[in-house]
């Protein structure tokens, strides 16, 4: 069965780009007769507290557009033991990293499209004595040893994408579980088979699929949807476009724009958009501008 999920981070209200990706995932899941799950990725506690009430507003805005989900809402803040178990399962593949962001910046090549910089493996080569010394100076992050593995994922728009997996972070230096770990653990445990999200995250898919397989799961099929761009031609954010559903004109104005941007024509309800779904989804790769 086709099982997809939408996983907002409640650090801000959902903007047009977030809502477009949610609608795309919902349509793909419902058109396949599958399930669409909801997950709140609320591990960044400081930013979540600063955006008080954002999670409830996120869910309310999705409902206002007519999007429904299957089962209960999963909240990452309630699943910390699951992430600890995953770290334990990885065993000796996990190692401490004491590098600062500046050190990584200076030691790595150009970043991927999502801003991610592959880690060169500096701390993997430290001796036990060197680790003990550095541990006295700063709290380490935890990385997974990938041993230069390669992983191929399938994206329904981009096709097969192969990349080398670097030693990426599982637990941050502040002790919080990293997105790459928590999202994969949750996808595996929830039986997710398909992941729909923005195309800026395509380069992260091979490392996440590799980790899913390492944890005993299967790599999902991906659908990386074109982003919505702001007035400055860059990825939409609060600073360069409407910050939420109401600023964009409310459901009556936003939903027809979203369905048209997905090549389905203008629809006043999601049922109409679902009925208009064609077999070819290639046009969803186009990036859309709000101007």
- List the structure tokens of 172: 């941050």
From the list 49, 238, 239, 253, the catalytic residue is 238
Classify each residue of 147-160 as buried b or exposed e, where b means 16 or more C-beta atoms within 10 Å of its C-beta.
Answer: eeeebebebbbeee
Q: Compute the distance between CA of residue 101 and CA of residue 87 in angstroms, rounded to an integer.
A: 22
Q: Compute the distance between CA of residue 169 and CA of residue 179 in angstroms, rounded to an integer.
A: 9
- List the structure tokens of 179: 């997105």
Three-state secondary-structure class, residue 259 = helix
Categorise residue 91: left if φ over 0, alpha if ψ from -120 to 50, beta otherwise.
left
8 Å CB contact between 96 and 137: no
8 Å CB contact between 198 and 65: no
Q: Compute the distance between CA of residue 21 and CA of residue 26 in angstroms, rounded to an integer.
A: 9
**Cα 254 to Cα 159, 169, 188, 237, 239, distances in angstroms:** 30, 37, 33, 16, 19
- List the structure tokens of 190: 């929830």
Residue 238 is a catalytic residue: yes
Please return the burial class of 275, using the count of CB atoms within 10 Å of its CB with bins 0-12, 13-18 and 19+. exposed
Three-state secondary-structure class, residue 40 = strand
- SS3 of 58-70: the string is HHHHHHHCCCCCC
8 Å CB contact between 207 and 237: no
Residues with catalytic annotation?
Answer: 238
């Amino acid at each position: 069965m086709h099982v997809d999920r939408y996983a907002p981070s409640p650090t801000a209200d959902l903007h047009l780009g977030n809502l477009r990706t949610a609608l795309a995932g919902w349509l793909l899941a419902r058109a396949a007769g599958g399930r669409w799950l909801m997950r709140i990725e609320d591990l960044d506690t400081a930013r979540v507290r600063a955006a008080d009430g954002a999670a409830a507003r996120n869910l309310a805005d999705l409902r206002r557009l007519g999007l429904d989900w299957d089962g209960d809402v999963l909240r990452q803040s309630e699943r910390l033991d699951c992430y600890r178990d995953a770290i334990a399962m990885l065993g000796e593949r996990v190692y401490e990293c004491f590098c600062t962001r500046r050190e990584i910046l200076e030691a790595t090549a150009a970043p991927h499209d999502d801003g991610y910089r592959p880690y060169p493996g500096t701390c993997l080569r430290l001796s036990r004595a060197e680790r003990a010394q550095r541990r006295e100076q700063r709290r380490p992050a935890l990385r997974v040893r990938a041993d230069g593995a390669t992983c191929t994922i399938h994206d329904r728009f981009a096709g097969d994408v192969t990349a080398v997996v670097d030693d990426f972070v599982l637990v941050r230096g502040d002790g919080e579980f990293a997105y790459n770990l928590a999202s994969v653990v949750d996808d595996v445990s929830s039986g997710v088979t398909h992941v729909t999200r923005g195309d800026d995250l395509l380069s992260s898919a091979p490392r996440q699929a590799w980790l899913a397989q390492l944890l005993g799961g299967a790599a999902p099929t991906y659908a990386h949807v074109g982003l919505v761009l702001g007035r400055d031609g860059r990825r939409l954010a609060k600073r360069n476009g409407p910050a939420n559903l109401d600023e964009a004109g409310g459901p009556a104005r936003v939903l027809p724009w979203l369905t048209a941007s997905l090549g389905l024509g203008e629809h006043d309800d999601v049922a109409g958009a679902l009925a208009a779904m064609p077999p070819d989804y290639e046009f969803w790769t186009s990036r859309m501008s709000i101007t």
